[in-house]
Structures are given as C-alpha cells and as structure tokens.
C-alpha cells in the first residue's frame, strides 16, 4: 500500500504491473479527469471514495486538471500469489479463470470501499496488531473483489466450507501461542501454522469460534494481561505497555479504554 498525500494536477503514464492495482480516491477530487487503460477510457468528473481497478500487465495513463482543489488517494498492489490463494481456498476456483476488468470511479461496492478504508487506516496510523489486522483485511478484500468486481459469476458468491468451528484442542493451542508471544508482532501466518490451516480458513474459523477476528482477539488478550499487571502494582504504565505488546503508553490507553471502558489510571 502507498498513501499519496494531496496532489495538484498531473499527467503521467503508469507502466504495467505484475500485480492487481486498486486505487481508492479520497474525499477531494478534481472536476475533470481523463484515464486510459487496456482500451478502456474514462473522461469526466472524478468521484470521491471510489475504486479504480487495474488488472495486471496493462499500461495506464492518468490525467486530471487542477481546479483549485487537490486530490489524495491510496494505492494497493495485490500480488498474484494472494489472489490465487484466496481463489483456490475460498471458492475452489482455478485462479487462471479469474479476470478483473478495468474499473474507473466505481462506487457500487460499499463493502470493498470500507475494507480499503480500513487498510488505509492501518497504513496511516499503525498500532498493535497492525500486521495481523492488515493480513486479515487483505484476505477479506480479495474475497470481496472476486465476488463483486471480477468476471466470476458464482452461485450466490458463497465461500467453500463456510460453516464450522475450530476444534477445542486447536483453539487451545492457538491461545497458548498468543499468550507466549503476546509482546511480539504476531502474524496471521504464525497463528494459521499453529492450527495447521491456511491463513484464510484459519481467520474465518477463528472468528466463528471466538466471535472476534484474530487481531482483535490479540488486542483483548493484551488488555487482559495489562489489567493483571496494573493490579500487581509493580510496573509503570509505560513498562506495562511494552510488556503486553503495545508500542507505547498512548496505545495502551486507547485500547484499554475501548475494551474496558475506563483508562488504565482509573482502573488502577
């Protein structure tokens, strides 16, 4: 991902990429644009909070006119490996069958826009569980793109094996791993490896079993450990934040208040 801060008028050619390029426009956009990609052309007003989708291997030309405002956007590059993995694991599809047509200023999928915005929030703000959160959101994003913005016409867009829960012993093993590595940057691949599942299926089954996505569960466990350390009264809040895996006291304060309802100081 790359977040582009507000830019004035521009005229440039984007070379072909090996990845699937998704561009989410920001709140402010110029009045006049001219874009071309793979024999598809868009000429007209730019739209805020919209999706531009560029398939791999094609050159694109971008031009917008300066009208007194500036534009900002976020660019996401999704690797063919990720798209193929989700196509196979979630839909039992041959990845070669999945094609993404060019789309300009598409506002038809609020779900895709919401997920892209959540990924942008992680990019701009960071925070505990950021890696785990971004990996989970990337899987969700590709599912949504295949369902809603590809050439695939599935029967209702159902995910293969959508039911089910993690076995009790598997969930216990994952929880033990989280508790043992709570102060570290836990990845989705780490947790899926403990469960002997693919990342996509693990994230789905974990949420169905616990009610929380993996990254939110990790944050809750960090807050629970912080509560115990605060009650023990042997460490400062700065020390506790680092001990439980938050980068600083401000992140501890923010997540503690969100989960518990009060600040760490008031809890103490």
For residue range 148-207, list pLDDT tens digits in order: 999 886 644 555 555 678 999 999 999 999 999 998 889 888 999 999 988 888 988 999
Domain ranges of the chain: 2-149, 168-216, 220-267
Per CATH, domain 2-149 is 2.60.120.280: yes
Q: What is the pTM of this model?
A: 0.74
pLDDT at 155: 47
Work out the percent of the chain whose per-residue pLDDT is above 70: 87
Give the homologous superfamily in CATH for domain 168-216.
Homeodomain-like (1.10.10.60)
Q: Is 51 helix (H, G, I), strand (E, B) or coil?
A: strand
In CATH, the number for domain 220-267 is 1.10.10.60
3-state helix, strand, coil in the chain (%, to 5): 45, 20, 35
Question: Which positions ≥6 away from 176 have C-beta within 8 Å?
Answer: none
CA-CA distance, 82 to 183, in Å (whole number)?
28
Place of tokens 């925070």: 127
Identical fold for domains 2-149 and 168-216, yes or no, is no
Each residue's pLDDT tens digit, 20-72: 999 998 876 656 788 888 778 888 777 888 999 999 988 888 887 755 555 67
Alpha carbons 227 and 184: distance in angstroms, whole number: 18
Can you tell me the mean pLDDT for 136-158?
82
**3-state DSSP assignment of residue 64:** strand
């Amino acid at each position: 991902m790359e977040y582009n801060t507000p830019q004035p008028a521009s005229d440039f050619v984007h070379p072909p990429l090996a990845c699937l390029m998704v561009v989410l426009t920001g709140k402010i956009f110029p009045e006049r644009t001219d874009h071309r990609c793979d024999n598809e052309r868009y000429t007209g007003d730019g739209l805020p909070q919209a999706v531009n989708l560029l398939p791999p291997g094609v050159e694109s030309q971008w031009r917008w006119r300066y009208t007194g405002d500036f534009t900002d956007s976020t660019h996401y590059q999704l690797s063919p490996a990720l798209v193929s993995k989700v196509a196979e694991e979630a839909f039992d599809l041959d990845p070669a069958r999945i094609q993404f047509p060019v789309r300009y200023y598409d506002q038809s999928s609020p779900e895709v826009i919401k997920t892209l915005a959540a990924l942008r929030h992680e990019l701009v703000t960071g925070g505990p569980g950021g890696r785990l959160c971004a990996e989970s959101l990337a899987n969700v994003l590709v599912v949504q793109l295949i369902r809603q913005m590809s050439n695939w016409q599935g029967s209702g867009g159902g995910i293969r094996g959508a039911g089910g829960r993690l076995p009790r012993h598997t969930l216990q093993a994952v929880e033990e791993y989280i508790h043992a590595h709570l102060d570290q940057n836990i990845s989705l691949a780490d947790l899926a490896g403990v469960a002997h599942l693919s990342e996509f299926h693990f994230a789905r089954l974990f949420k169905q079993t616990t009610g929380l996505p993996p990254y939110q569960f990790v944050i809750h466990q960090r807050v629970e450990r912080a509560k115990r350390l605060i009650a023990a009264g042997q460490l400062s809040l700065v020390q506790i934040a680092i001990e439980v895996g938050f980068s600083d006291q401000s992140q501890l304060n923010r997540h503690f208040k969100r989960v518990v309802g009060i600040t760490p100081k008031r809890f103490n």
